[in-house]
Copies of this chain bind each other. A is one copy, B any other.
Amino acid sequence: MEKVNIREKLGQFNDHWNPRIVGELNGQHVKAVKLKGEFVWHHHDHEDELFLVTKGTLKMEFRDKTVEVNEGEFIIVPRKVEHRPVAPEEVHILLFEPASTLNTGNVENERTRKTLEKI
């Protein structure tokens, strides 16, 4: 029952696309991640994902539109929906998603992170 300071957690690492676990509850993980550049198109078969922006601007691309998510805003991507996170400039994100969620969803490539560090 210790509190978590989001900025302090994000200050512990500088690499991109490598989420850290910063909280666990009800079978869900809270993750902190820094994004920069373009990710891969993917979807999750069984998991909805919440992206909360704490710094910068995230462009969440869908096949039919792009949603710009700014600091203090979040977006929920439902399971099965194809999406691609894009960060023209570095963006800091808090993720809420089931513990089972793989970052690249149905795709497996060099961006895939199968084990995540807890910080």
Q: Which residues of A contact B (CB under 8 A)?
A: 1-7, 23-26, 28, 30, 47-50, 54, 60, 62, 65, 67-70, 72-78, 81, 96-98
Bound CA–CA A24/B79 (angstroms): 12
Contact present for A4 and B74 (CB under 8 Å): yes
Q: How far is the CB of A18 from chain B (nearest CB, A)?
A: 21
**Number of copies of this kind of chain in the complex:** 2
Bound CA–CA A77/B2 (angstroms): 9
Contact present for A97 and B26 (CB under 8 Å): yes
Q: How far is the CB of A81 from chain B (nearest CB, A)?
A: 7
Q: Which of B7, B23, B69 contacts A76 (CB 8 A)?
A: B23
Bound CA–CA A4/B2 (angstroms): 28
Bound CA–CA A74/B48 (angstroms): 21
- With CB as the reference atom, state the residue of chain B lying closest to A65: B1
Bound CA–CA A30/B1 (angstroms): 20
**26 A-B contacts (beta carbon < 8 Å):** A1-B62, A1-B65, A1-B67, A1-B75, A1-B77, A2-B67, A3-B60, A3-B75, A4-B73, A4-B75, A5-B70, A5-B72, A6-B73, A7-B72, A23-B50, A23-B76, A25-B48, A25-B50, A25-B96, A26-B47, A26-B97, A28-B28, A28-B96, A30-B50, A30-B76, A30-B96
